[in-house]
Amino acid sequence: MAEISPILIVGGRGMLAQALMAHYAGRNVTALPRRDCDITRPEQIAQAIGKHQPRTIINCAAYTAVDACEIDPESAEATNTDGVGYLAEAARQGDCYLIHVSTDAVFDGKGNRPYKPDDPVGPLSTYAQSKLGGERKLLAAAPNRWMIVRTAWLFGIGGVSFPRTIIEKAKTGQALSVVNDQFGSPTYATDLAAAMVKLIDQQRMGNWHVANSGQACWYDLARATLEEMGLNMDLRPISTEQWTAMRPNQAIRPRFTVLDIEPVNAAIGPMRHWRQALADFCGKMKQ
């Protein structure tokens, strides 16, 4: 197998990048924040590759503010689409193994079974369209070795996430309404990072879905977070239609984007249930 070290992580200040660095402790890995490698600027990518001479590049850089993408689609496209294309071209020229992190949001949510990596896509929001655009830019540049890792509903230490928001809201004592008819795969950044490290060490190729097992709606995840934290809150389930009526300018979310993780389970061992992962996250939040 080809050498995978040194490894370069771009988007190095984000939640997933921090989790990856924790798993890569003691290995030849460098994480660069945006100021040191802005993927929307090809010259910065070239400088970073020239300096660090990576054999593997992991792209954790993304514009993930879903609702903000509706207001600023140019920024979403610059980072989530064009930036991935620049990275892919640089990886192809440098014969680097490129790993790109994408999203469950590329699916339209009209299915009724977990989505497989090769299922048809149908992004509903500007964010989702920009992320799918990044996948297609990567394929167009076609490095010799590449992997796309789609994940979903990410939470973890070191960044903004839905469970963290619920914890903060609960401390205000205010009632909160949470959607109960959108279903997905809650995923702990620590578990995603561990799985990615194993897949990278195996030099896997192609599209992979990586998430914790099980499924939940946003209301399920909110309620479970409160239970794990021992917090009381007036939590009310509402429909997507009710939520949209309250916030009509928000991005459209798909109703069902649970990911089929059977291939990754077979490759590296079973991903644990999201509720177990949430318990670990909440335990760290209590510290």
* Each residue's pLDDT tens digit, 191-201: 999 999 999 99
What residue has token string 């279903």?
A: 183
Instruction: Enumerate long-range contacts of 52-55, CB under 8 Å, 24 or more apart.
Output: 52/6, 52/8, 53/6, 54/6, 54/7, 54/8, 54/30, 54/94, 54/96, 55/2, 55/3, 55/4, 55/5, 55/6, 55/7, 55/96, 55/97
Q: Write out the two tokens for 136.
A: 């297609």
Say if residues 210 and 150 touch (Cβ distance below 8 Å).
Answer: yes
pTM of the model: 0.96
pLDDT tens string 205-221: 999 999 999 999 999 99
Question: pLDDT for 6-21, tens place per residue?
Answer: 999 999 999 999 999 9
Please give the Cα distance from 202 to 14 (Å, whole number).
24
Q: Can you tell me the mean pLDDT for 92-109?
A: 97
CA separation for the pair 149, 6 (Å, rounded)? 20
User: What is residue 206's predicted lDDT score, i.e. its pLDDT?
Assistant: 97
Rounded Cα distance between 203 and 3, Å, is: 9
Instruction: Indicate whether 5 pLDDT > 80.
Output: yes
The encoded tokens of residue 120 equal 């048809």
Domains of the chain: 7-160+185-213+257-271 (3.40.50.720)
Burial class (CB in 10 A: 0-12, 13-18, 19+), 54: buried
Which pLDDT does position 204 carry in this prediction?
Answer: 97
Q: Do 112 and 183 contact (CB within 8 A), yes or no?
A: no
Q: How confident is the model at residue 57 (pLDDT cuts 50, 70, 90)?
A: very high
Residues marked active site are found at: 127
Q: What confidence score (pLDDT) does residue 249 get?
A: 84
